[in-house]
């Protein structure tokens, strides 16, 4: 729709609303009463954007917290202060005119808060499923749990001796419209094979971001119950840090950390954990619903979606469709149950977000390459198609940005999947992502690539396939769908080429994009181009699907020893247009890339050298840079984020 729909209220009410700016409306009323009804595909984004535009009443919250503090102090409370480390959403399905898009707003004042009933449930779940199992005396542990939370349903029913209060934010949280994309609806809902030809289905909902601090007070029911507060506080803090609060916790939402001190350790009965640092090697076109740079960050839901994709690629050659769906649900969850693995992402510092400018990023200052005297699309432009074209001008986060990623596998109560096994499969998927793939738009063209990570027991594609085979057994039947790492291995479509020292990401992607573009132009007949995820408009479609992602991944990575590499991984696809053609075209593409990168020029001095030769350290406009070479009266420099550009010689000072 092109304009905001009218809410379903009487005409007289609508007339009053028309005179009140959205920013000055009550957030709860705007969400529940003044939002036009509709499904995710219809009016929902308009309605949620309007709720996000409400300013709320920050000054009122200051006064309310002061008055509340006086009341709580008289009750002898202990207060737990925790802060969000990522997005938080809760009460998505609360009664409103919208479809699974609500959030828990205070019924009187309209700010986001955490209800006491939910906090008590979180703490009890942790106490009974994680803490109790680690205690030497189970009966005594259960008595302590009953004392804190109470008992019910028997003649000896009793109220809990600790009172949980609502958790209020310290400052008014800013609402944002968040977004998830279901890329495989037919696989999850219709039981069809998973593939890269389905169109994503966006789902919008409300959330708040990282860095919001909440106070969660607990008080004794009677003065002599005060000794139980520390026990209850510890359970609640562990639940916040290791399980999360609200909805979509396994997708990284609702992750918290204590404001003071460190998170409590994860006891063995609570599950297994793996922590890795992801470092961006090439720009990441990350974005959520805003598309304006404000949410250009590695989102846990996006990372989890990629991990599921690589997990399926790893197991697709070893499990039939029914077994694949069942196993995936156990590890990652589905609409009927939560999975064993939780993914959380914490930024290590603020990454620098800038608008993508393809002309400024092209090595050589934007000059086109030429073939036979005719201009040809620059390789970097070809690889980044759509990121800086017309009205579509995307932001990216610069290379060098880092995130701490935590994978936690918990017991699910279902036989056959221990937390250690679920974590092993998730770690292998993360290794594959960091070795061959990427996150965000154009990730199959080299953007959004991460440096290599170390995963115990996983150091090759074959190790990942061996893990899948150990789960499936020798008699497994293959899934009829793509992509499949097994088929990629059988067709020898895995390749890697070291890059020259000091190669920039622009040079690597530009060279790969140029080789790819030249190869595509040479594929004849044109119908065979469909094997590369095409056809484009005007080309023969034959029996090809209307949409298909590229059946290969280009990855600009960095090994543990610092060597930069370009990796290629192809996925033969029976639908593009048949298995034989797919293997043939992808094999030729692999050979074309090998030829191109085998002759890639080394980075080095051009023209006169600097004081210490090239590369050498210096400063441009006060910022540290590395001067890679000189072209006439300009230096080609690389800054601390790995970005490069041409600058005048007289603007550089050498260290």
Q: 433 Cβ partners below 8 Å, 6+ apart?
A: 303, 306, 307, 310, 439, 450
The answer to which of 31-40, 419-428, 485-494, 564-573 has the lowest mean pLDDT is: 31-40
Q: What are the tens digits of pLDDT across the range 145-189?
A: 999 999 887 767 889 999 999 999 999 999 999 988 877 777 777
Q: 555 Cβ partners below 8 Å, 6+ apart?
A: 435, 436, 437, 438, 446, 449, 566, 567, 568, 569
Whether residue 53 has pLDDT greater than 90: yes
pLDDT bin (cut points 50, 70, 90) of residue 417 is confident
Question: For 515, how many CA atoms within 13 A lie in the half-sphere containing its CB?
Answer: 23
Task: Please report which helix (H) or strand (E) contains residue 355, including its range.
Answer: strand 353-355
pLDDT of residue 508: 93
Whether residue 288 has pLDDT greater than 80: no
Q: What are the tens digits of pLDDT across the range 526-535?
A: 778 888 986 5
Q: Report the C-alpha dihedral over residues 374, 378, 379, 380, rounded to 10 degrees.
A: -170
pLDDT of residue 366: 52
In angstroms, the CA 483 to CA 257 distance is: 37
Whether residue 602 has pLDDT greater than 80: no
Task: Copy the structure tokens of residue 175.
Answer: 């609402």
pLDDT of residue 308: 95
In angstroms, the CA 82 to CA 259 distance is: 5
Question: For 113, how many CA atoms within 13 A lie in the half-sphere containing its CB?
Answer: 22
Peptide bond into 615 cis (omega under 30): yes
Check if the beta carbon of residue 446 is closer than 8 Å to that of residue 555. yes
Looking at per-residue pLDDT, the higher value among 643 and 88 belongs to: 88
Q: What is the overall mean pLDDT for the chain?
A: 85
Q: Of 338, 596, 408, which Cα lies nearest the Cα of 588?
A: 596
Q: What is the DSSP string of 176-210?
A: EEEEEEES-HHHHHS-PPP-TTSPPEEEEEEEE-T
What is the sign of the dihedral through the CA atoms of 343, 462, 322 and 198?
Answer: positive
Whether residue 74 has pLDDT greater than 70: yes
């Amino acid at each position: 729709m092109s304009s905001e729909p009218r809410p379903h209220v009487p005409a007289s009410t609508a007339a009053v609303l028309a005179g009140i700016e959205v920013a000055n409306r009550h957030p709860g009323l705007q969400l529940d009463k003044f939002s036009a009804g509709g499904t995710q595909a219809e009016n929902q984004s308009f309605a949620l954007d309007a709720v996000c535009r409400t300013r709320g009443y920050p000054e009122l919250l200051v006064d309310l917290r002061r008055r509340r503090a006086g009341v709580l102090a008289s009750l002898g409370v202990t207060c737990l202060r925790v802060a969000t480390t990522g997005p938080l959403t809760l009460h998505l399905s609360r009664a409103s005119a919208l479809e699974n898009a609500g959030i828990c707003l205070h019924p009187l004042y309209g700010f986001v808060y955490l209800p006491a009933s939910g906090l008590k449930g979180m703490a009890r779940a942790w106490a009974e499923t994680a803490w109790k199992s680690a205690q030497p005396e189970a009966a005594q542990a259960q008595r302590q749990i009953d004392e804190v939370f109470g008992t019910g349903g028997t003649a000896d029913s009793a109220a809990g001796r600790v009172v949980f209060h609502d958790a209020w934010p310290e400052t008014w949280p800013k609402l944002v419209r968040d977004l998830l994309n279901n890329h495989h609806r037919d696989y999850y809902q219709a039981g069809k094979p998973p593939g890269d030809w389905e169109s994503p289905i966006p789902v919008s909902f409300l959330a708040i971001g990282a860095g919001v601090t909440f106070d969660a007070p607990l008080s004794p029911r009677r003065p002599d119950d005060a000794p139980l507060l520390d026990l209850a506080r510890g359970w609640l803090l562990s639940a916040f840090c290791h399980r999360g609060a609200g909805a979509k916790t396994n997708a990284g939402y609702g992750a918290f950390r204590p404001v003071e001190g460190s998170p409590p350790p994860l006891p063995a009965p609570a599950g297994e954990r793996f922590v890795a640092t992801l470092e961006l090697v090439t720009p990441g076109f990350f974005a959520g619903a805003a598309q304006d740079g404000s949410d250009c960050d590695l989102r846990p839901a996006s990372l989890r979606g990629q991990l599921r994709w690589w997990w399926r690629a790893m197991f697709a050659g070893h499990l039939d469709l029914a077994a694949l769906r069942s196993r995936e649900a156990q590890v990652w969850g589905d609409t009927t149950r939560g999975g064993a693995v939780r993914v959380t992402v914490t930024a290590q510092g603020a990454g620098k977000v800038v608008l993508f400018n393809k002309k400024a990023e092209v090595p050589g200052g934007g000059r086109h390459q030429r073939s036979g005297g005719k201009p040809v699309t620059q390789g970097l432009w070809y690889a980044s198609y759509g990121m800086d074209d017309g009205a579509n001008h995307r932001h990216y986060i610069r290379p060098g940005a880092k995130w701490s990623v935590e994978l936690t596998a918990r017991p699910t109560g279902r036989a056959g999947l221990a937390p250690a096994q679920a974590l092993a499969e998730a770690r292998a998927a993360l290794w594959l992502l960091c070795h061959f793939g990427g996150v965000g738009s154009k990730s199959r063209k080299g953007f959004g690539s991460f440096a290599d990570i170390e995963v115990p027991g996983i150091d090759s594609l074959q190790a990942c396939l061996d893990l899948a085979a150990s789960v499936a057994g020798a008699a497994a039947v293959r899934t009829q769908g793509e992509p499949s790492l097994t088929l990629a291995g059988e067709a020898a479509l895995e390749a890697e080429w070291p890059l020259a020292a000091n190669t920039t990401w622009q040079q690597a992607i530009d060279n790969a994009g140029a080789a790819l573009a030249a190869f595509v132009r040479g594929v004849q007949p044109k119908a065979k181009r469909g094997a590369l995820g095409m056809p484009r408009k005007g080309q023969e479609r034959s029996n090809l699907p209307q949409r298909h992602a590229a059946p290969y991944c280009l990855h600009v990575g960095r090994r543990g020893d610092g060597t930069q590499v370009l990796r290629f991984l192809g996925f033969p696809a029976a639908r593009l247009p048949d298995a034989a053609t797919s293997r043939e075209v992808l094999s030729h593409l692999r050979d074309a890339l090998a030829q191109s990168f085998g002759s890639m020029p080394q980075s080095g001095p051009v023209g006169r050298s600097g004081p210490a030769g090239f590369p050498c350290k210096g400063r441009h406009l006060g910022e540290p840079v590395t001067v890679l070479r000189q072209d006439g009266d300009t230096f080609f420099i690389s800054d601390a984020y790995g970005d490069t550009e041409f600058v005048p010689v007289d603007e550089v000072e050498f260290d």
